[in-house]
């Protein structure tokens, strides 16, 4: 009988080192998955980021300067979608008109509010005003107006996708 015991496999002991290595490998795999998920998830913009981007982009729209020949290019760079396509067709005409009329529009954004979010895009309500100075130096009165602006991400930036003048 003693010979039978010698041939029998040794009983498996519970090795703490094996458990520690197994737990460590699982932890590393989970950490890698978490980092990967964080890296590939889309950026979710805050309300403040939408307000800041809208203020900047609309501010460029409500000002006109006949000496600024690259304004149309900056407007196009800050736009996407339908608005980009429509403005791209008229950007040269816009620049020629402002330059030939020697017009200067001093405008600004008076207020911006987020009306609704739809996925990564947001509908913004904008209160703005503009005063136009003509070539003869005559100033028009300050004209307030309201806009509905759709902001959408494109190439990692929030850009104007659509504009509707309400008033």
> Confidence band (pLDDT; 50, 70, 90) for 12?
low
CATH number of 47-166: 3.10.450.50
pLDDT score at 111: 95
pLDDT score at 55: 96
Q: What are the structure tokens assigned to 150, written together?
A: 């759709």
Q: In what order do the strands lie in the sheet with 121-133?
A: 64-65, 104-118, 121-133, 143-154, 157-165
Q: Contact, 160 vs 58, CB < 8 A?
A: yes
* Tens digit of each residue's pLDDT (9 = 90 or more) over 22-65: 888 888 888 888 888 776 666 689 999 999 999 999 998 888 77
CA atoms in the 13 A half-sphere facing the CB of 120: 14
**Mean of the per-residue pLDDT values for the chain?**
84
Q: If you average pLDDT over each of 12-26, 80-94, 129-143, 151-165, which comes out highest?
A: 151-165
> Confidence band (pLDDT; 50, 70, 90) for 126?
very high
Mean pLDDT of 130-152: 83
* Tens digit of each residue's pLDDT (9 = 90 or more) over 77-125: 999 999 999 988 888 887 787 777 777 778 889 999 999 999 889 999 9
Q: Whose structure tokens read 């904008």?
A: 126
């Amino acid at each position: 009988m003693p010979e039978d015991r010698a041939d029998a496999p040794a009983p498996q002991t519970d090795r703490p080192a094996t458990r520690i290595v197994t737990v460590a490998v699982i932890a590393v795999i989970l950490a890698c998955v978490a980092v990967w998920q964080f890296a590939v998830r889309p950026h979710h913009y805050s309300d403040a980021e939408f307000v800041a981007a809208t203020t900047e982009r609309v501010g460029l729209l409500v000002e006109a300067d006949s000496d600024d020949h690259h304004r149309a290019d900056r407007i196009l760079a800050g736009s996407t979608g339908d608005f980009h396509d429509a403005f791209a067709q008229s950007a040269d005409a816009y620049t020629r008109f402002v330059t030939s009329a020697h017009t200067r529009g001093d405008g600004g954004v008076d207020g911006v509010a987020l009306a609704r979010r739809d996925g990564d895009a947001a509908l913004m309500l904008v209160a703005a005003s503009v005063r136009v100075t003509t070539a003869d130096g005559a100033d028009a009165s300050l004209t307030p107006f309201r806009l509905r602006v759709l902001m959408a991400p494109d190439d990692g930036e929030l850009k104007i996708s659509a504009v509707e003048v309400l008033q």
